[in-house]
A and B are shown apart, each in its own frame.
Chain A
């Protein structure tokens, strides 16, 4: 291009690429660029707008003389108004008289701008934003002004965008890390999770989550918001919170997914996400699971080959109006393991999906006991060079065998009682108890726990401890609290003791300075008594 720019202005423009600029922090860089362009062109205002990840919206990121544009958080649709037209046509736009022009952003008029000039910011052939200058008195921007601003834009675009994405990536990485949960610690189920960000420039929308429900069961989720970038990550965050909210009171996984699908359609029509949500009873192993277009989980029972769990066919969240999902029920036996993953984990450029799945299954089949080790091994085997273009998430759960002596602590709340019963029931089953032994002893233990919860702590938070052991066929179950016992109130507690005595061979209440222990003894395994 033959330059019509005078040498003096060209020298000024050159200053925009000063090495010094490279070391300015982002805010300083933008500020400096805006000031220099205002100086070179002789304008009164200047602003840089960048295109959002969805490619349909321009957002002001830095401005001089038009600071309100950034502060008010205005969003300008591509194709609308002045800046929107620059982005849509990828060509400079000049406006001589703002008052008579099609302007979307009211601030431009409020600030009394008379004339405007805008050029596209282009990186690698794609429009990434718009840079404009304005004057308070009418001015016909000439071709030299246009070329000057376009050159400035061309020189600065890459620096601006890479610094911005770097910063956003840092923020988004932090956001994504903060969204990865601290997995709950349970006596009967061990959990481990992994998240690997995408290797490419852009962000992903994968997540996993595990949380205790109000009824003592465990909710587990893994999901993948389709699309990449900051926006996909933000949608992921909203879905994750939405799922927890819908799940908290113990709703069926299929209903949680239906609600979540509706939420996604409201958040962003056209966006889809795949999810698996399941509820597992850590004390009994019962599991209810539903999927929305997500890759099937892997189940591994010791002594058997790992297998993919066939879930009912389903559409991704957001893909259909009033989507309905189906629950599948199963039991996770002690020692068995469930592996949930996103497609980023099994999609490698140099390997087919089937090969990756086989490697996943073969690695799981080796039977590593420790889930954290298994997590590391799976990452090494499946993604030796880290995640590819897509991010990757993994969540594993194993039902633990309970051992000879059972010790577990529960919050001293009524809601703990069903979990305590199920855990004790599972342990008794492993210890060779009959159905009747289990029914009677768990009810007696629940009565003892209810006593402790109602009488030991008042309103302060406390703990109830369950301890169970066997001596041949004689089981001793102890329920302990660490509070100040006071005499029971109300008649049903009297019946509680009556039930404990009627359902076991022996009941003893031991009070010490530290609290109270109720000891329940019963001989188990006698089928004739059933």
Chain B
């Protein structure tokens, strides 16, 4: 636990994949918010947020995902979130019912396939 977070963006054709590593929390939120909102290009079909390497997420991090889902939905774009199997991040996102605003997938490939199939 080193109190840092990183956002990495890759593009797979018309879908951006943001990989968040470390702690998605109140300390890192404003910096991560810019990366997340900035990752969506006009021509994209949707966005995948990969949380398999995130060790921690708090209510501020959760709100960031809800805000992202809302902004994407306003533009008819889809949000897919990749979750690790078990662990704190998965428990948190299940408690807040992230599934109500985003697709949840076990892998980036599944998430990409789902967005492209729509």
Check A415–B27 contact: CB distance below 8 A. Answer: yes
Is B63 a contact partner of A499 (Cβ separation < 8 A)?
Answer: no
Tell me whether A498 and B96 are in contact in the complex, defined as CB-CB below 8 angstroms, given that A450-B59, A492-B60 are known contacts. Answer: yes
Q: Quick one: CB contact mask for A467-502 with B, threshold 8 Å, 1 for yes?
A: 000000000000000000000001111011011001
CB < 8 Å neighbour of B58 from A216, A217, A440, A443: A443
Map CB proximity to A onto B86-107 as digits: 1 under 8 Å, 0 otherwise.
0110011001100000000000
| Chain B contacts for A443, CB-based, 8 A | 56, 58, 88, 92
Also in contact, A425 and B1, with CB within 8 A (given A417-B26, A498-B96, A503-B95): yes
Q: Name A421's closest neighbour in chain B (CB-CB).
A: B1
A418 touches B27 (CB 8 A): yes
CB distance B95 to A492 under 8 Å?
Answer: no
Smallest distance from the beta carbon of B6 to chain A beta carbons, Å?
Answer: 14
CA A106 – CA B58 in complex, angstroms? 68
Partner of A414, one of B27, B56, B66, B91: B27
Given known pairs A414-B26, A418-B23, A443-B92, the reply for A215 and B3 (CB within 8 Å) is yes
Q: Are B58 and A499 in contact (CB under 8 A)?
A: yes
CA distance A482 to B1 in the complex (A): 29
Within 8 A of A (CB), among B1-33: 1-4, 23, 25-27
For window 103-152 of chain A, which residues contact chain B by CB distance below 8 Å? none
Taking the complex as formed, is B36 at the interface, i.e. its CB lies under 8 A from any CB of chain A? no
A446 to B92, CA, bound (A): 13
Interface of chain B residues 61 through 110 with chain A (CB within 8 A): 62-63, 66, 87-88, 91-92, 95-96
A71 to B27, CA, bound (A): 51
Q: How far is the CA of A301 from the CA of B27 in the complex (A)?
A: 33
Known A-B contacts A450-B26, A499-B96; the reply to A492 vs B91 at CB < 8 A is no
Report how far A414 CA is from B30 CA in the complex, Å. 12
- In the complex with contacts A439-B88, A443-B92, A495-B27 CB distance below 8 A: no
CA distance A417 to B62 in the complex (A): 17
Q: How far, in whole Å, are A415 and B62 apart by their CA atoms in the complex?
A: 19
**Among B1, B4, B59, B91, contact of A495 (Cβ-Cβ < 8 Å):** B59
Task: Tell me the complex Cα distance, A175–B29, Å.
Answer: 42
Interface size grouping (class) on chain A: 20 to 34
> For the complex, what is the distance from the CA of A415 to the CA of B58, rounded to whole Å?
14
Q: Are B56 and A498 in contact (CB under 8 A)?
A: no
Instruction: Please give, as numbers and ranges, the residues of chain A lying within 8 Å of B1 by CB-CB distance.
Output: 281, 284, 286, 418, 421-422, 425
Inter-subunit contact B3/A418 (CB<8 Å) = yes
Q: Of all chain A residues, which has the CB nearest B57?
A: A443
CA distance A418 to B60 in the complex (A): 14
Q: With contacts A492-B59, A492-B62, A492-B63 known, is A286 near B2, CB below 8 A? A: yes
Contact A447–B59 (Cβ < 8 Å): yes
Q: A216 contacts which chain B residues (CB < 8 A)?
A: 3
Q: What residue in chain A is nearest B61 (Cβ atoms)?
A: A492
Q: Which of B1, B3, B87, B88 has the most CB of A within 10 A?
A: B3
A436 proximity list for chain B (CB < 8 A):
88
The 0/1 profile, CB within 8 Å of B marked 1, for residues 417-436 of chain A is 11001100100000000001
Interface string of A268-288 (1 = CB under 8 A from B): 000000000000010010100
CB-based contact B58/A447 at 8 Å: yes
Tell me which of B3, B26, B27, B59 contacts A499 (CB under 8 A).
Answer: B59
A498 pairs with B95, CB closer than 8 A:
yes
Interface-centre pick from A446, A492, A503 (highest chain B CB count, 10 A): A492
In the complex, chain B residues whose CB is within 8 Å of the CB of A447: 58-59
- Which of the listed residues B23, B26, B96 has the most CB atoms from chain A within 10 Å of its own CB? B26
Chain A residues closer than 8 Å to B91, beta-carbon distance: 440, 502-503
Determine how close the nearest CB of chain A comes to the CB of B57; give it in whole angstroms: 8
Q: In the complex, how many angstroms separate the beta carbon of B90 from the nearest chain A beta carbon?
A: 11
A387 to B27, CA, bound (A): 46
Contact B25 A446 (CB under 8 A): yes
* Contact indicator per residue, chain A 318-347, by CB within 8 Å of chain B (1) or not (0): 000000000000000000000000000000
Once bound together, how far apart are the Cα atoms of A447 and B88, in whole Å?
A: 14
Q: Which residues of B contact A250 (CB under 8 A)?
A: 3-4
Specify which chain A residues have a CB less than 8 angstroms from the CB of B63 in the assembled complex: 490-492, 495
CB neighbours of A422 from chain B (8 A): 1
What per-residue 1/0 map shows which CB atoms of A240-276 lie under 8 Å from chain B? Answer: 0000000000100000000000000000000000000
Residue of A nearest to B56 (CB): A443
Query: B88 — which chain A residues lie within 8 A by C-beta?
Result: 436, 439-440, 443
Cα–Cα distance between A436 and B86 once the two chains are bound (Å): 10
Instruction: Kindly provide the distance from the CB of A365 to the nearest chain B CB, expressed in whole angstroms.
Output: 32
Could you tell me which A residues sit within 8 Å of B by CB distance? Answer: 215-217, 250, 281, 284, 286, 414-415, 417-418, 421-422, 425, 436, 439-440, 443, 446-447, 450, 490-493, 495-496, 498-499, 502-503
Chain B residues engaging chain A, CB cutoff 8 angstroms: 1-4, 23, 25-27, 56, 58-60, 62-63, 66, 87-88, 91-92, 95-96
User: Can you give 9 contacting A-B residue pairs, CB < 8 Å?
Assistant: A417-B25, A425-B1, A440-B88, A440-B91, A443-B92, A492-B60, A492-B63, A493-B59, A499-B96
Given pairs A217-B3, A250-B4, 9 additional interface contacts (CB within 8 A): A216-B3, A418-B1, A418-B25, A440-B88, A440-B91, A447-B58, A495-B63, A496-B58, A499-B59
